[in-house]
């Protein structure tokens, strides 16, 4: 088994999970990934992936089982040694643990691969370590991927993730401004998620199997009074009807222009129309 939060499921995680499958095959044991439904309260940075997407991406790597552990106060209070005894060994019946080079666990994140190795004999564990995965000399980590996304370097982010970053979720009601302008938008939640810089993007989308091009906007709607939080709005050309509750995947492909405050609704409408012409550029 291995354990971690696996935010983004990037190339470093993929290398770890490939090692896990190799190890499990060699030892004739199922491969299990232990991950958590939330981060410790002191880790407040926005995430690259929500829970459902994170689990799906881990499973797509071909491991036998993913265990989603509730990150409760009781769990956070366990010492590293107790965590290994009660969770890893007693409950999950682990016989071999593959730990990343930066693995931390237990109260105050005091446990690391050294802790596992020191208890391996007592617990009957085999312990192996995964070295950091590097791309052009840089260690690929969730922190690096988050920085690339927030900076808007989508090309480098795609290299680090091993795929393009996408925003996924159920379409929810918005304020109806887009509809009033003649460009009704599908609204996706950004709650707890990192996102690219504010502005307009040419994007590809998948609406429950229906694929096409889209105009994607991240921002605070300054023309109509800033929203208290950053929003994500997607205009789907040729798509109409009630889309609330339907699942949408939208992938920013190209930055079209920064967010700005337009003089009025007419000027904003003209700007949207000009951005739409760029989708096929």
In this predicted structure, the answer to whether residue 149 has a pLDDT above a threshold of 70 is yes
Domain count, the chain: 2
In this predicted structure, the answer to whether residue 181 has a pLDDT above a threshold of 80 is no
Is the Cβ–Cβ distance between 278 and 202 less than 8 Å? yes
- What is the pLDDT averaged over residues 194-203? 96
CB count within 10 Å of CB 225 equals: 8
Calpha distance 196→133 (Å, rounded): 24
The model's pTM = 0.91
- What is the pLDDT averaged over residues 25-33? 97
Domain that holds residue 139: 2-143
3-state helix, strand, coil in the chain (%, to 5): 35, 25, 40
The answer on 174 and 123 residing in a single domain is no
In this predicted structure, the answer to whether residue 158 has a pLDDT above a threshold of 90 is yes
CATH classification of the domain holding 209 = 2.40.30.30
**Contacting residues for 15 by C-beta, under 8 A, at least 6 apart:** 130, 133
The residues that bridge with 203 in the sheet, in sequence order, are 214, 252
Whole-number percent of the chain with pLDDT over 70: 93
- Report if residue 158 sits inside a domain: no
pLDDT tier for residue 244 given thresholds of 50, 70 and 90: confident
**What are the structure tokens assigned to 122, written together?**
């007592």
CA nearest 166: which of 5, 56, 273?
Answer: 56
Indicate the average pLDDT of the chain.
91
Of 82, 109, 143, the last residue of a domain is: 143
In this predicted structure, the answer to whether residue 42 has a pLDDT above a threshold of 60 is no
- What is the pLDDT averaged over residues 98-126? 95
The answer on 184 and 108 residing in a single domain is no
The answer on 128 and 12 residing in a single domain is yes
CB count within 10 Å of CB 173 equals: 8
In this predicted structure, the answer to whether residue 180 has a pLDDT above a threshold of 70 is no
C-alpha torsion sign, points 228, 166, 160, 42: positive
pLDDT tier for residue 226 given thresholds of 50, 70 and 90: low
Is the Cβ–Cβ distance between 216 and 234 less than 8 Å? yes
The answer on 134 and 182 residing in a single domain is no
The answer to which of 111-115, 126-130, 173-177 has the lowest mean pLDDT is: 173-177
- Report if residue 154 sits inside a domain: no
In this predicted structure, the answer to whether residue 22 has a pLDDT above a threshold of 60 is yes
**What are the structure tokens assigned to 95, written together?**
């016989």
- What is the pLDDT averaged over residues 89-107? 95
CATH classification of the domain holding 76 = 3.40.50.620
In this predicted structure, the answer to whether residue 179 has a pLDDT above a threshold of 70 is no
């Amino acid at each position: 088994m291995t354990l971690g939060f696996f935010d983004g499921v990037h190339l470093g995680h993929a290398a770890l999970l490939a090692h896990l499958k190799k190890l499990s095959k060699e030892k004739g044991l199922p491969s299990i990934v232990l991950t958590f439904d939330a981060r410790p309260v002191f880790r407040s940075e926005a995430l690259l992936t929500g829970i459902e997407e994170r689990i799906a991406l881990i499973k797509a790597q071909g491991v036998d089982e993913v265990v989603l552990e509730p990150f409760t106060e009781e769990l956070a209070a366990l010492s590293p040694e107790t965590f290994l005894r009660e969770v890893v060994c007693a409950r999950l019946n682990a016989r071999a643990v593959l730990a990343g080079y930066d693995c931390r666990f237990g109260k105050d994140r005091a446990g690391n691969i050294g802790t596992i190795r020191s208890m391996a004999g007592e617990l009957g564990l085999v312990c192996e370590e995964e070295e950091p995965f590097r791309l052009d000399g840089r260690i690929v980590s969730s922190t690096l991927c988050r920085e690339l996304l927030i900076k808007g370097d989508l090309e480098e982010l795609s290299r680090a993730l091993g795929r393009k970053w996408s925003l996924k979720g159920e379409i929810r009601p918005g304020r109806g401004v887009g509809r009033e302008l003649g460009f009704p938008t599908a609204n996706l939640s950004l709650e707890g998620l990192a996102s690219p810089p504010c502005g307009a993007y040419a994007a590809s989308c998948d609406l429950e199997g229906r694929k096409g091009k889209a105009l994607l906007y991240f921002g605070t709607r300054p023309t109509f009074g800033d929203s208290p939080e950053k929003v994500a709005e997607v205009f789907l050309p040729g798509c109409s009807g009630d889309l609330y509750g339907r699942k949408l995947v939208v992938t920013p492909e190209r930055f079209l222009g920064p967010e700005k405050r337009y003089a009025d609704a007419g000027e904003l409408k003209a700007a949207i129309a000009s951005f739409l012409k760029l989708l096929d550029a």
